[in-house]
């Protein structure tokens, strides 16, 4: 279990590295695209798409599993380690594939978030400054409204006539109506 966790974390870091590397340049993908496709079907020069960079889930999954499968086959036949003959080897293989895939999505999230923050950094300062100014205005309004409300209440108290003391009781009013 401990080794699988280490493999999984290493795979996430590998996925982040793979995505970051392809976000900076996609020369290998462009070369493979030129070899496989005719001139009409080749990708344009300004297209940033790579093996995992800006790809949908399925092409990304196929690429990651293919790379991990090739690495596992190399380990299987060139070293004494038996990757595919035991449960632990297959488990490590699948952990590495899933971890790499998760790492590519983590890197995608981080890169997109960084781009959004860089775009909005100027306007973010203006937004915060505007919010602070609105808060100050609101506090000033509360202070002035409080004093106005207190003064208005004092005026109303002074202007209110005293309640009449000579009113009949509820019992007397019911007797007058003939209900008692």
Confidence grade of residue 48 (pLDDT, cut at 50, 70, 90): low
pTM: 0.57
CA dihedral 92, 97, 99, 104 (to 10 degrees): 160
Query: pLDDT tens digits, residue range 7-46?
Result: 889 999 988 888 888 877 777 776 777 777 777 777 676 6
If one counts every other C-beta atom within 10 angstroms of the C-beta of residue 121, the result is 9
Confidence grade of residue 103 (pLDDT, cut at 50, 70, 90): very high
User: Are residues 60 and 54 in contact, defined by beta-carbon separation less than 8 angstroms?
Assistant: no
- What is the reported pLDDT for 34? 72
pLDDT surpassing 90 at residue 99: yes
9/7 Cα distance (integer angstroms): 6
CA dihedral 15, 17, 23, 27 (to 10 degrees): -100
């Amino acid at each position: 279990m401990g080794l699988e966790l280490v493999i999984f974390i290493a795979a996430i870091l590998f996925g982040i590295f793979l995505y970051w590397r392809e976000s900076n340049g996609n020369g290998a993908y462009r070369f493979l695209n030129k070899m496989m496709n005719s001139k009409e079907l080749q990708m344009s020069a300004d297209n940033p798409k790579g093996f995992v960079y800006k790809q949908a889930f399925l092409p990304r999954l196929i690429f990651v599993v293919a790379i991990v499968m090739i690495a596992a086959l190399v380990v299987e036949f060139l070293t004494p380690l038996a990757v595919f003959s035991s449960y632990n080897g297959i488990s490590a293989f699948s952990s590495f594939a899933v971890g790499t895939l998760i790492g590519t999505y983590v890197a995608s999230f981080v890169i997109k978030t960084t781009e959004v923050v860089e775009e909005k950094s100027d306007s973010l300062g203006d937004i915060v400054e505007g919010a602070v100014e609105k808060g100050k205005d609101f506090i000033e309004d509360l202070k002035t409204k409080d004093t106005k409300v207190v003064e208005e209440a004092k005026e109303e108290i002074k202007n209110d006539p005293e309640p009449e003391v000579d009113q009949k009781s509820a019992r007397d009013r019911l007797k007058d109506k003939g209900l008692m």
